[in-house]
Amino acid sequence: MPSISRVRALAVLLIACVATAIASVACSRDDSRTSATPRRAILIVIDTLRADHLGCYGYERDTSPNIDAFAEQSVLFEHAYAQAPWTVASVASILSSLYPQTHGLTHAKDNRALAESIELLPERLADDGLATAAFVANMTLDPTVGFYEGFDEHAIVVDENAAYPDEGTRINQRAIPFLERHADTSFFLYLQYMDPHDPYDDPAGHYRTFDPDYDGSFDGSIGPLFDAMARRRPWTLDDRELEHMIARYDGEIRYVDERVHEVFATLDRLGIADETVVVVTSDHGEQFFEHGGLKHGTSIYDEEVRVPLIVRAPGTSREGTRVPNPVALVDVYPTLVELLDAGEPPASLDGHSLVPLLRGDRVDRGDVFTETAHGWSWKDDRMQYNRIPMAAIVRDRHKLITIQRDEFRDLLPDAELDPSARPYADELYDIVEDPRERRNLAPGATDRVERLREPLRTWREETRARLKAGRTFSKDERTDIQERLKKLGYLHESDEDDDARETESDGSASDDPRDAPSTESSTPREESR
């Protein structure tokens, strides 16, 4: 029988061995994490870029040779949807993976910031050890709103003294040095190019290639035209001017395509292209009278909410693959978290990781939703209402668009809702057979409409019930934001009219255009472009 001292010695030795083993395992885990290939990702958001104006999505003009080449090395999602057709709400959904009714930025006059309780994508990645940076060219993404939580560095690169600033170059002057500094480290870089947002005047003049014979006076600025429409005043735009407007928009796409190529070329030069996740998308599209409107924010037809989504994830994605499944921009957050091995995303996210689809698995992402609180409608060739809450559900190949009647009634109790007139009537489209949404199937498909209406209603109620309301801006903060946006051309006369109505004696806004002077207006175009 061994002595007590020998037993004690053996026990001490055993404890030491266990401790050494534990330490060895811990060290090996740390070593594996620190010695592993750095985790890198770039999220490129091209403002106001509709999917169907890119060559890789079937456009006939040569607007995007570099993005097209990138798509051949990546996975392209054919039906990706922004959660709102305007920047602030859409970008908030991208960075939070929450629908607008939950993150709370549903209207341009929300006058509030994102709630501090919302963990944004850059916060999650920064906490996991990635260097983070954001360089953007859209002044509506104001720091006051809380967009830059989690970014180690950020900048809005707008030149406030330039009428048509070369913002793409200014972004790359920040982005490329960042990549050079962090080539050997883990990083997340967010870039938001402003082109092809109006005014449509790319610095390189590519529109001349797309429309060399134009000799009219349209210079790319649509502010006056949009103001006239919004204020129910007479406006004119003939077919030739509209054709040139679209050529200018396409020219801006070609310009930003070159700027994006500079980022791709930098990754190649630094030797990290094959180790960097790259996502190319947009916050929303742009309309050119396909359904009677101009610019964006006022409808949820595909020209406004169907956006490109192209993902290159080395070691995961299949080159040149096209995915027909409807997906959403709220999916970007959980997808990047998984690709970057940044832990489990919060359970409260609305998005779903697209990694299974990137790998080629047969999975159903589920229903996709989009919405706007800025809906416009037309009646008797003039705008009738300009704040109609609209929502849509996309399931498989069908998309149902409805107005939120109860919310609209609360806004305008005396409004006349003609259930047979657009946009008050339900609209159902087959987005595969009818991508331009010209044939409303709802009148002859009442059963399908009802099957889609119920989950749309449930989604609306659930997302509103989960509202994470942030703080309200002070009067000085709001004034400062408005002044800067006005200087840069984002606020027009129509916005000032709304502000004036909001300060009427009863303290509430009058949004019924019956309060405005009755004027004769041109007929909204229904071009099939």
pLDDT for the residue numbered 422: 58
Strand partners, 388: 375
Q: Is the pLDDT of residue 367 over 60?
A: yes
pLDDT tens digits, 287-331 = 998 988 888 888 999 999 999 999 999 988 788 999 999 999 999
Structure tokens given for 238:
């003939």
220 vs 340 pLDDT, higher one: 340
Q: Which of 78-87, 162-171, 226-235 has the highest mean pLDDT?
A: 78-87
pLDDT for the residue numbered 22: 40
Strand partners, 312: 278
- Domain 371-505 sits in CATH at 3.30.1120.10
Residues of the chain with CATH 3.40.720.10: 39-362
CA dist 366 → 96, 350, 403 (Å): 19, 11, 22
Instruction: Return mean pLDDT, the chain.
Output: 83
DSSP strand pairing (309-312 vs 276-281):
antiparallel
Give the DSSP H or E segment for 223.
helix 223-230
User: Average of pLDDT values for 193-215?
Assistant: 93
Percent of the chain past pLDDT 70, that is, above it, reads 77
pLDDT for the residue numbered 346: 86
pLDDT for the residue numbered 217: 86
pLDDT for the residue numbered 485: 65
Distance CA 190, CA 39 (A): 15
- Contact 283/90 with Cβ under 8 angstroms? yes
Lowest-pLDDT range of 263-267, 436-440, 500-504: 500-504
Thinking of the domain 39-362, which architecture would CATH place it in?
Answer: 3-Layer(aba) Sandwich (3.40)
Q: Is the pLDDT of residue 19 over 90?
A: no
pLDDT tens digits, 42-84 = 999 999 999 999 999 999 999 999 999 999 999 999 999 999 9
Residues of the chain with CATH 3.30.1120.10: 371-505
